[in-house]
Structure 1
Amino acid sequence: MNLWQVFRIAWRAILGNPLRSVLTTLGVIIGVAAVVALTMVGQGSTANITRSLQSLGTNLITIGSNTGGRGGGFGLVRFGGPQTITLADAEAVQSAFAGRIVGIAPTLQSNQQVKVGASNLNVTVIGTWPDYASVRNAQPASGSFFNETDLQSRRRVAVIGYGIAQDLFGGQDPLGQRIRIAGISFTVVGVLPDKGDSGFASPNYQVMVPLSTYLQRLARSSSTGQPRVNAIYVQAPDKDSLSRLQQELTDFMAQRRKVTDPSEYDFSVQNQADALASVNQVTQTMTLFLGGVAGISLLVGGIGIMNIMLVSVTERTREIGIRKALGAKPRDILTQFLVESVVLSVGGGILGILLGLAMAGSVGQLLRVTPVFDPFSMVLAFLFSVAVGVFFGFYPASRAARLDPVESLRYE
């Protein structure tokens, strides 16, 4: 009996009970679909985060508050906790590292209502220095960023995000127009390009104003002393100097505070590469974990295949006896049932890949993530489904091959 004949017999046996065959492969279908969808969405999320961090500036070092000891987690600035970084720190860094850094921009931000006529939006308003445009890759698409004169004169000028311009001004040119931030009038001098919707703190819905103006007009009244800021962004000349400059800034901030024990630092100094690596590691770990959970579905599906194949062997005992009586060898019976198991798992693998692609597209739209097509994960999931069919189908097939033909013919 050649392989083609074996395949035809196996296919007829599968089509003989289509509902049972579909239910048998359901575990494999769900497992493969979950692996494919989770891998594509996970890699898409990683790519989105990478693009978002890179779009916020290159060769970036962030000095932020850290009230929980050394270690800044993901290297991201946390705006909700106590602020320990002051404007004086930014001025000191600017003076001490003049000529060794490309730019520096302290920031202080809050959520404010922006109003134009009868329209209004709740957006993020950021008070900062002119270097913010280059340090955070925030060059306006039209108009210009505010300059040092605007900062020193505490002028009420603003650079708005693309989304704000679209929502509040529609098709009109916002340059030179006035907006009201927390009831205070500002003149629009620049509009940022469309940077997409990053999910949180979207650059499209941010307003940048001079930090001096922010402190005078928009900041909440605080106790006497140096004004506190959320973060200080420093741009290094190139990526090769990031680690060295990060250490020098750490030492500088520690000397300003007269602290020698790193566990007592009330600040954190993180570079963009560290933040990117940390976030990517977390997303990859989560993707692998969820993929492992999905892999359990494949094992459950394999157990289901083995269970049904054992039932099939019992139901077809007389058929096996007749085949053996007509000259079928044990290896022919073994091959027949093994092929049936593999066909079920391969069919489940193909349907699982198609379902996984559809799921990845749907989940991507829901989460606003562009899934990344990954042939390797699909091939791996498919091969694993084939391996499941072979592994879990071998025992029922070998059991069928060992049946005694005389006893099989007597089976009722």
Structure 2
Amino acid sequence: MIYLRLIAESFRFAWQALRANLMRTILSLLGVTIGIFAIISVFTLVDSLERNVRDSMSFIGDKVIYVEKWPWSFSGNYPWWKYFQRPEPTIREFRQLERRITNSNGVAIFASKGGNTFKRGNNSYSDANLMGVSYDYPKVSEVPVEEGRYFTPQETDAARNVMIIGSEAASNLFPSGNAIGQDVKVGGFKFTIIGVIEKQGENMFGAPNMDQMGIIPYSTFSKMYDVGPDGMGSTIALKGLENDPGLLELEYETQGIMRNIRGLRPRDEDNFAMNRPEMATEAISGFFDVVGLAGWVIGGFAILVGGFGIANIMFVSVKERTNIIGIQKSLGAKNYFILFQFLFESVFLSLLGGGIGILLVFLLTLIPQEMMAITLSVGNIILGLGVSAVIGMLSGIIPAVLASNLDPVIAIRSK
């Protein structure tokens, strides 16, 4: 009960101090407000951008290793012509990997070609990307079918002319809707639409946009284009197990099987690349760490100024209420009561400034954004309030200690 009374009494003193010197308090809290606003706004933008980036990268899957001809990044002095002479992954290698691999949740092969034109009567959709995938492709990368269905094993094995189409392509070819069961022509081939992909939006990396894509069975794709070691390149994707941290077991097993399939001797270099999404995500995480550090530095200077402002308020408050402190101590108030009273006031003022900064960030998130949705997370709110509370305690501890150690007789005589 005494603690509740102590908190209520401290809150009353803090509120009275704020009202009595409103302009001074506002100017002093401005530093904390600007500092918290700078830090939380940067973190909010970084979180929103990082979330959007990772969503944009969802097309490459999670916990997946890609076997390809070319690596995603080059290191060392490896001659380019050695990469150029490498063979493309083939359907035969895919079948052997599919049969022999044990540390995988799924194996798929896919290939794509851009610049296609989809036609439906008088309507056409140009510069579309056509992608051929094996049946297990959804195990390695998401295919969010909103209407209709995915391929059946019989359709992929028999190389049927069926297609899952992107939402943008579907809306252009079928303005009235109801694309399921309709026919589309691509390069002289007629395809039946069996599914429509859920709208995904723009991709930040310029990767193939699923809204503008048509997905067909890999076997059908192979009939249309020259896919193979000397033709169009394919990619083999392997989904890792959940109990395989770092996908090390999958990587080693895949490397061993691929070397065996291609007849490489122990001293021969790999003539294939094993690419992993972590290569991109690690670079992205490093970039966002730098941006977050910059936010701390920028906001830190403003918070430092705000902390000195709050400390100044508290020193003035102690001086103005020295007489009241003497009376309280003469009536039996303990030192911890006086200490807590001023410390609470300091934290309260700092939280008020931080709360205003967070409110400003929240108002910014309400502004409509076409590129990406900006949201203020609960974690960033807690971070902002936590930093404000720490600044309030550090700024008020010395004035509070001085106030609690005042001699009651001397304090009562002060004016």
Q: Please indicate the TM-score interval, normalised by the length of the shorter structure.
A: 0.5 to 0.7
* Candidates 343, 346, 364, aligned match of 1:341: 346
Q: Which residue of 1 aligns with 2:179?
A: 174
Offset at residue 190 of structure 1 (A): 2.5
Q: Which moved more, 1:9-18 or 1:53-62?
A: 53-62
Q: Percent identity of the aligned residues?
A: 20
SS of 2:176 mapped into structure 1: coil
Q: Is the CA contact 2:36–2:354 (under 8 Å) kept in the aligned structure 1?
A: yes
The amino acid across from 2:394 in the alignment is F
Q: Which residue of 1 aligns with 2:80?
A: none
Q: Does 1:379 align with 2:387?
A: no
Q: Does 1:149 align with 2:141?
A: no
Q: Which residue of 2 aligns with 1:206?
A: 213
Query: Structure 2 CA distance, aligned partners of 1:391 and 1:17?
Result: 22
Q: Is the CA contact 2:34–2:302 (under 8 Å) kept in the aligned structure 1?
A: no
Q: Which residue of 2 aligns with 1:300?
A: 302
TM-score under structure 2 normalisation? 0.67
SS of 1:147 mapped into structure 2: helix
Q: Is the CA contact 1:299–1:388 (under 8 Å) kept in the aligned structure 2?
A: no
Query: Structure 2 CA distance, aligned partners of 1:217 and 1:312?
Result: 78
Offset at residue 347 of structure 1 (A): 0.8
Query: Structure 1 CA distance, aligned partners of 2:406 and 2:300?
Result: 29
Counterpart mapping for 1:2-151 below 5 A: 4=8, 7-33=11-37, 36=40, 60-64=64-68, 65-66=70-71, 68-69=73-74, 84=86, 86-88=88-90, 90-95=91-96, 97-98=98-99, 100=101, 103-116=107-120, 117-129=122-134, 131-132=136-137, 136-138=141-143, 141-142=147-148, 145=151, 146-150=155-159
Q: Is the CA contact 1:158–1:186 (under 8 Å) kept in the aligned structure 2?
A: no
The amino acid across from 2:303 in the alignment is G
Q: Does 1:393 align with 2:400?
A: no
Would the alpha carbon gap of residues 320 and 165 (structure 1) be closer, same or farther in structure 2, given more than 3 Å must change? Answer: same
Cα deviation digits, residues 34-83 of structure 1 (max 9, x gap): 55566566666666777777787687432122175579xxxxxxxxx979
Would the alpha carbon gap of residues 289 and 29 (structure 1) be closer, same or farther in structure 2, given more than 3 Å must change? Answer: farther
Query: Structure 1 CA distance, aligned partners of 2:85 and 2:138?
Result: 23
Cα deviation digits, residues 339-361 of structure 1 (max 9, x gap): 44322102123333444444456
* Candidates 196, 205, 209, aligned match of 1:192: 196
SS of 1:159 mapped into structure 2: strand
Query: Structure 1 CA distance, aligned partners of 2:345 and 2:223?
Result: 77
Cα deviation digits, residues 235-274 of structure 1 (max 9, x gap): 57x5558643432221343452747679x64533246xxx
Cα deviation digits, residues 105-162 of structure 1 (max 9, x gap): 13133244445434535432224445546654548642663533337xxx6x543123
Q: Which residue of 2 aligns with 1:159?
A: 164
* Candidates 252, 255, 259, aligned match of 1:250: 255
SS of 2:385 mapped into structure 1: helix
The amino acid across from 1:13 in the alignment is A
Task: State the Cα RMSD in Å.
Answer: 5.0
SS of 2:12 mapped into structure 1: helix
Q: Is the CA contact 2:156–2:219 (under 8 Å) kept in the aligned structure 1?
A: no
Query: Structure 2 CA distance, aligned partners of 1:239 and 1:83?
Result: 35
Would the alpha carbon gap of residues 96 and 212 (structure 1) be closer, same or farther in structure 2, given more than 3 Å must change? Answer: closer
Query: Structure 2 CA distance, aligned partners of 1:28 and 1:261?
Result: 63
Would the alpha carbon gap of residues 261 and 310 (structure 1) be closer, same or farther in structure 2, given more than 3 Å must change? Answer: farther
Instruction: Name structure 1 gaps, 5 residues minimum.
Output: 72-80
SS of 1:126 mapped into structure 2: strand
TM-score under structure 1 normalisation? 0.68
Q: Which moved more, 1:385-394 or 1:14-23?
A: 14-23
Q: Is the CA contact 1:104–1:135 (under 8 Å) kept in the aligned structure 2?
A: yes
Offset at residue 398 of structure 1 (A): 5.6
The amino acid across from 1:381 in the alignment is G
Q: Does 1:226 align with 2:235?
A: no
Query: Structure 1 CA distance, aligned partners of 2:73 and 2:129?
Result: 26
Cα deviation digits, residues 166-204 of structure 1 (max 9, x gap): 2331234334544455x6554233223416337353323
The amino acid across from 1:300 in the alignment is A
Q: Is the CA contact 1:39–1:291 (under 8 Å) kept in the aligned structure 2?
A: yes
The amino acid across from 1:125 in the alignment is L
